[in-house]
């Protein structure tokens, strides 16, 4: 009978990456990101901008050609005239480029933020000698990622080729009649045909980019998977970290404080210093042998205890020696010791008389 040694599988990466593993990878610039997604979004945004501003661009091109074909032909180039002419050309060029360039920059930054979020790191720019290792390079050449990238490139070429062919085939009749048209009609046909090709290609690339984005996230998580032993080691390291211990203690103190404050309305009396100490006592003769401390505090905590007590109609009794003694010698949840029982009993008797219980 074959016996399996389960320790052989201890290094198998079957566990999802922890938040710390993801955070460390992010600090190194390792994030799930699809370049095709940003490129497709930028292409579609640029085409949409040109389509919306087609009238504006037509006016700008008309104005530019009018100057070149009329006044520009007779413009005398001198040392004094070349500078304003060059500035005029730059302004005209800026009017053509800036609308599309501005939209492309905004969309590019937005798509990058959608994929990565706010991230700035110089780690990817640092030299990594592992990348020039021939063995690792050979592994990368025949890796699944390389195969997916090759398959993606083939699909993109086939899709783009098919779309261009189908669009040219459907518009071939108009193209064959270009010799019979004037300049305006020729420009209209060519721009319409080109826009149709680019628009369909952009949508196809965007669909491929969405699929690629899903794969990149899947592959990213897969590469960050951890073995059970790695998860245990990471937990031990985090548990021993002073920062983590401090946060755990801080949360524990906050939870204990909330529990303590929630018990204050159940108290029979609050014994005060009156300003620095406050100790809340509860006594149930049927279930307790002696009164019990359910809350205590100094300074700000004492003021909170008294405030909650007043809001809950709990009587506050000033007794400085008793308040200090109870605070220093009795922990929350413990019963009043015998040497303080007589003094506490007198306070409770006073409170019961005020409430009419005696």
Record the pTM. Answer: 0.46
Band of pLDDT at residue 4, cut at 50, 70 and 90: very low
Report the range of poorest mean pLDDT among 30-39, 74-83, 337-346: 74-83
pLDDT of residue 133: 59
Q: What is the mean pLDDT of the chain?
A: 77
265 phi, psi to nearest 5 deg: -60, -15
pLDDT of residue 1: 40
Q: Per-residue pLDDT tens for 153-189? A: 888 888 888 888 887 787 777 767 766 777 667 767 7
Share of the chain above pLDDT 90, in %: 0
Q: Per-residue pLDDT tens for 254-286? A: 888 888 888 888 888 888 887 789 999 988 888
- What does the alpha-carbon distance between residue 280 and residue 344 come to, in Å, rounded to a whole number? 11
Mean pLDDT, range 74-103, rounded to an integer: 75
Q: Please give the residue that has the higher pLDDT: either 24 or 151.
A: 151
Residue 7 has pLDDT above 50, yes or no: no
Residue 118 has pLDDT above 60, yes or no: yes
The full set of domains in the chain, from first to last, is 13-124+131-235 (no CATH), 263-355 (3.40.1690.10)
pLDDT of residue 176: 72
Mean pLDDT, range 48-56, rounded to an integer: 81
**349 and 269 in contact (C-beta within 8 Å)?**
no
pLDDT of residue 6: 46
Band of pLDDT at residue 202, cut at 50, 70 and 90: confident
Residues facing 297 on adjacent strands: 278
Residue 210 has pLDDT above 70, yes or no: yes
Report the range of poorest mean pLDDT among 7-11, 200-204, 238-242, 308-312: 7-11
């Amino acid at each position: 009978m074959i016996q399996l040694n389960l320790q052989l599988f201890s290094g198998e990466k079957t566990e999802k990456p922890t938040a710390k593993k993801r955070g460390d990878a992010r600090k190194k610039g390792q994030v799930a990101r699809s370049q095709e997604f940003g490129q497709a979004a930028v292409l579609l945004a640029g085409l949409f901008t040109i389509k919306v501003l087609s009238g504006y661009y037509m006016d700008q091109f008309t104005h530019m050609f009018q100057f070149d074909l009329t006044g520009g032909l007779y413009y005398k180039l001198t040392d004094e005239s070349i500078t304003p002419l060059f500035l005029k050309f730059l302004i005209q060029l800026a009017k053509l480029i800036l609308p599309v360039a501005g939209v492309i920059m905004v969309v590019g930054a937005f798509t990058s933020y959608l994929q990565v979020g706010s991230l700035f790191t110089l780690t990817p720019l640092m030299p990594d000698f592992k990348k020039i290792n021939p063995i690792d390079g050979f592994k990368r050449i025949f890796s699944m990622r390389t195969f997916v990238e090759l398959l993606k490139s083939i699909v993109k070429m086939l899709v783009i080729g098919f779309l261009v062919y189908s669009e040219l085939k459907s518009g071939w009749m108009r193209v064959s009649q270009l010799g019979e048209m004037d300049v305006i009609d020729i420009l209209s046909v060519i721009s319409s045909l080109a826009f149709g090709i680019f628009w369909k290609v952009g949508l196809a690339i965007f669909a491929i980019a969405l699929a690629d984005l899903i794969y990149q996230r899947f592959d990213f998580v897969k590469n960050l998977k951890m073995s059970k032993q790695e998860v245990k080691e990471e937990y031990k390291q985090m548990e021993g970290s002073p920062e983590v211990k401090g946060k755990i203690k801080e949360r524990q103190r906050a939870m204990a404080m909330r529990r303590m404050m929630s018990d204050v309305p159940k108290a029979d009396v609050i014994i005060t210093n009156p300003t620095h100490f406050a100790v809340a006592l509860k006594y149930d003769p049927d279930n307790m042998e002696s009164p019990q401390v359910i809350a205590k505090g100094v300074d700000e905590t004492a003021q909170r205890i008294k405030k909650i007590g007043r809001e809950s109609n709990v009587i506050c009794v000033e007794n400085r020696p008793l308040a200090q003694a109870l605070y220093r010698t009795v922990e929350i949840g413990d019963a009043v010791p015998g040497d303080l029982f007589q003094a506490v009993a007198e306070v409770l008797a006073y409170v019961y008389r005020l409430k009419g219980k005696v």
